[in-house]
Structures are given as C-alpha cells and as structure tokens.
C-alpha cells in the first residue's frame, strides 16, 4: 500500500507501508505548548467518557492520565483511547506556519489531523501528523521503540510538512495530469518501487529529505522539488545553479505562479484514518513498525569483517573486534547516519549483527583504531545504501 500518492488508504487492512520522512533529531520540547484545560477529568475511565462527548479533554493540570503510565501499560492502550488532537499542541503552530508560507504564494492552505504516521492522501488536501508528535510522553515512547523521531524538531517537522504540502498541491490542483509535469517528473501512475537504488551523486534531483528520496518516484520527485521551492530563504536558484534539477525548480516556480489564486479541484476536507478512530493498540502498532524496519543481514558480512579484523592467531593479544565495534558504535552510527540518512534502528540492527559475527568468528581488532573505525564506517555506509534496494529488505518506502 502506498500512501501520499496513490489513493486513499484502505481501511481495516494490515499496514504494509512505512512512512519515512525527515531526519532524526533531538526533540525540542520548548516547542510544545500546553493544551488548554478544557475539562476536569480524572482517571482514564473518565477521559474515555470525555472522548465520547466529542472534544479533546485534558485534566485541569493539563495532563493526560496515561502520561504517567509505564511503557508496558501505555502500549496496551488503543490509539483512540489517547484523546489526542492537533489543536493546542505545537503542531498547530507548525501547520499555521506552513499555511502562511502557502498562502503567501497564493496557494490553498492544507488541513491536518493525527493518525499513525506521516502521510497525505490523494482524496483530500490534507496532511496526517503521526500521533506521537502530539505529546512528549509519546515522543519518548517513539524514541524508545524505534529510536528515531521523524519530525520531532520544529525544523524537521517543517521540512516534512513542506514535502507533504507538495503532495497536497499535486492532488488539489491535479498537477500530474499536465503534460509538462509528466515530461519534467514522469508518470504519476508509475507504481512505487518496493526498493529503489539511489544515486547519491545525482544532480538531477533536489535533496531535501533523507535517502535521496526524490529518486524513488515521480510524485516524490515533485514533492521534494516543491518543498525546496517553498522553503523560505532556500536560495534554490543559487544552490542548484549548476544542477539539472534547477529546471525542475524553475518549472515548479512557473507552475505555482500559474495556479496561484486558481480554484483547486479538490477541496473536501476529510480526515483519513484519524487517530480517534484507530482501534489498534500502540503495542500492535510498534510491533508492525519494528518488523518493517528490520533487515535480514546477509551472511556476506563475514568476508568483509574478516578483511577489516584479524583472525590470525598472531593477533590473539589484540582487543576483541566485538568489543571494538561496541565501543565505537555511537561514532560510527553518527557518521553513517549523516551520510546516508539511514534509520538508527536499522543501523543498530546491522551493528548488532556485526558484533555477533565478530564474536562468532573470534575476530580481533589489530591495527589503528582510526583506520578500523573508518573501514567499518565505509562498510556500514555501503550496506545502508545497498539496503535501500536490496531484496532482503522488507521495508517499503512510501512517504
């Protein structure tokens, strides 16, 4: 199932797509504004009653009763039991900023709601925020469960919103039906690939979200180009001056002036899979999500690890390679993530595997720390880029 570009989400089906926007970041809690105390509710049972009354409720303290639950209890709650809404959170301010940017260009504003992930459906000019962004307790849980928080900082949130706004504009104004759009970006009807092989050096595509995402599909190429174009002070004319991608940006610039103040063809504001109607528990949700991030590491690691580390009996005295990888894990992860945009969870899975293999092969870290670290970083970077299209990877991209 593809989201954001290919139709509304089927209901009642197991989700197979993961939404992979933005970069992990340290969440800026300063961005969170406390909700208005709309009702005095105490205890979870009473909050549920408040939900059925149809309004988002919080205790006078401004707290939800589930905030203090331990993770295992929180994971048992259903999405719809959380009583979440965009109103009164920092997300409402991000949406306002996005809409200011759109309106200043004469484009229609987008509406937004909370669901389980980032997406923009094709049947309504709106954007779904992932539920966890609506509350610091849920951000904490997200970080614990999948280690990255997509859109967790003000800046990253805006980056993703501008990308999603590209999908909104495409569908609201039916842009993909134009011949010129098709010439510039390709056919929107093209199926999304299960895996794609990006060329990190390509200058035919802008770079906005991680993983050279513009290269995955014509709709994503457009959304990414639109996002760069929309970003205030992005200096795209200068930054992309000698890139073939500049033509795409110039086309978006012309196209947006053309449609500015035009009436969109899609105006019905619907909320697709709103969080208040999702029966799934958080535990089930994370189980699915973690499965999708998982990688089946190929056994070919052994050969490469043997090249970096030593199994020569003469190096018996050198420190164990498994310990070396463990010790250098934060540094390596940081570099690889910087270069590839790979998810921490995926990198951790691969590193766990490497550590196991180093131990099984009884490898030793002989040689300079710096050189070993470098070689490991290169190996992991190569693996991460490859995993974007490797058939062993179960993750599907759909943003």
Residues at the contact surface with Zn ion, assessed by CB under 5 A: 4, 220, 223, 399
Q: How far is the CB of 313 from Zn ion (least distance, A)?
A: 53
Q: Of the two residues 142 and 164, which places its CB atom closer to Zn ion in the complex?
A: 164
Structure tokens at 239: 């930054």
Q: Where are the beta strands (DSSP E) in the chain?
A: 111-115, 126-130
The backbone torsions φ and ψ at residue 277, rounded to the nearest 5 degrees and listed phi first, read: -115, 5
Q: Which residue is nearest to Zn ion (CB)?
A: 399
Q: Closest separation between CB of residue 382 and Zn ion, Å?
A: 26
Nearest to 6 by CA among 172, 252, 190: 190
Residue 125 CB, shortest distance to Zn ion, in Å, is 15
Contact 296, 387 (CB under 8 A): no
User: Measured from the CB atom, is 206 or 223 closer to Zn ion?
Assistant: 223
In the DSSP assignment, the letter for residue 11 is T
Least Cβ distance, residue 197 to Zn ion (angstroms): 18
Q: Which is nearer to Zn ion, 4 or 24 (CB)?
A: 4
**Choice between 223 and 332, CB closer to Zn ion:** 223
Minimal distance in Å, beta carbon 199 to Zn ion?
A: 19
Report the alpha-carbon distance of residue 78 to residue 350 in Å, rounded: 31
CA pair distance 114, 86, nearest whole angstrom: 7
Q: Nearer to Zn ion by C-beta: 255 or 332?
A: 255
Note whether 118 and 132 are within 8 A (CB). Answer: no
Q: Of 4 and 56, which has the nearer Cβ to Zn ion?
A: 4
* Least distance between Zn ion and beta carbon 220 (Å): 5
Question: Ramachandran region of residue 43, left (φ > 0), alpha (ψ -120 to 50) or beta?
Answer: left
Find the shortest distance in angstroms from Cβ 119 to Zn ion: 8
Residue with tokens 């540094």: 331
- Closest-CA residue to 255 (of 226, 232, 220, 215): 226
> Closer to Zn ion at the Cβ: 332 or 396?
396
CA distance 136 to 138: 5
Nearest to 102 by CA among 164, 156, 152: 164
Give the tokens for residue 72: 């295992």
Question: Please, is 30 exposed, middle or buried when counting C-beta atoms within 10 Å of its C-beta (0-12, 13-18, 19+)?
Answer: exposed
- Contact between 382 and 375 under an 8 Å Cβ cutoff? The reply is no
List residues bridging with 129 in a β-sheet: 114
CB closer to Zn ion out of 166 and 276: 166
């Amino acid at each position: 199932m593809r989201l954001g570009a290919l139709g509304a989400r089927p209901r009642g089906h197991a989700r197979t797509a993961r939404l992979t926007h933005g970069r992990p970041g340290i969440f800026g809690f300063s961005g969170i504004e406390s909700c208005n105390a709309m009702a005095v509710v105490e205890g979870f049972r009473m909050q549920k009653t408040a939900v059925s009354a149809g309004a988002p409720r919080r205790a006078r303290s401004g707290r939800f009763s589930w905030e203090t639950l331990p993770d295992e209890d929180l994971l048992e709650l259903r999405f719809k039991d959380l009583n979440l809404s965009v109103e009164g959170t920092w997300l409402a301010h991000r949406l306002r900023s996005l809409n200011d940017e759109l309106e200043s260009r004469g484009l229609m504003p987008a509406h937004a709601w909370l669901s389980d992930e980032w997406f923009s459906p094709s049947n309504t000019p709106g954007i779904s925020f992932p539920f966890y962004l609506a509350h610091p307790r849920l951000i904490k849980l997200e970080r614990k469960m999948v280690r990255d928080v997509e859109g967790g900082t003000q800046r990253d949130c805006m980056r993703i919103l501008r990308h999603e706004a590209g999908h909104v504009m495409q569908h609201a104004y039916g842009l993909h039906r134009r011949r010129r759009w098709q010439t510039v970006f390709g056919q929107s009807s093209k199926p999304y690939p299960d895996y794609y092989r990006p060329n990190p050096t390509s200058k035919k595509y802008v770079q906005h979200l991680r993983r050279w995402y513009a290269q995955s599909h014509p709709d994503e190429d457009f959304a990414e180009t639109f996002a760069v174009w929309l970003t205030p002070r992005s200096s795209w004319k200068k930054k992309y001056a000698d890139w073939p991608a500049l033509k795409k940006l110039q086309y978006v610039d012309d196209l947006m002036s053309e449609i500015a103040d035009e009436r969109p063809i899609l105006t019905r504001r619907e909320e697709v899979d709103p969080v208040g109607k999702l029966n799934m528990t958080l535990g089930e949700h994370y189980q699915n999500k973690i499965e999708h991030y998982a990688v089946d590491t190929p056994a070919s690691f052994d050969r490469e690890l043997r090249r970096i580390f030593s199994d020569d009996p003469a190096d018996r005295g050198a420190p164990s390679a498994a310990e070396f990888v463990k010790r250098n894990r934060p540094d390596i992860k940081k570099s690889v993530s910087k270069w590839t945009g790979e998810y921490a969870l995926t990198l951790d899975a691969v590193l766990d595997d490497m550590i196991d293999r180093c131990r099984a092969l009884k490898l030793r870290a002989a040689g300079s720390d710096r050189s070993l670290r470098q070689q490991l970083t290169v190996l992991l970077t190569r693996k991460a880029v490859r995993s974007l299209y490797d058939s062993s990877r179960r993750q599907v991209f759909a943003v």
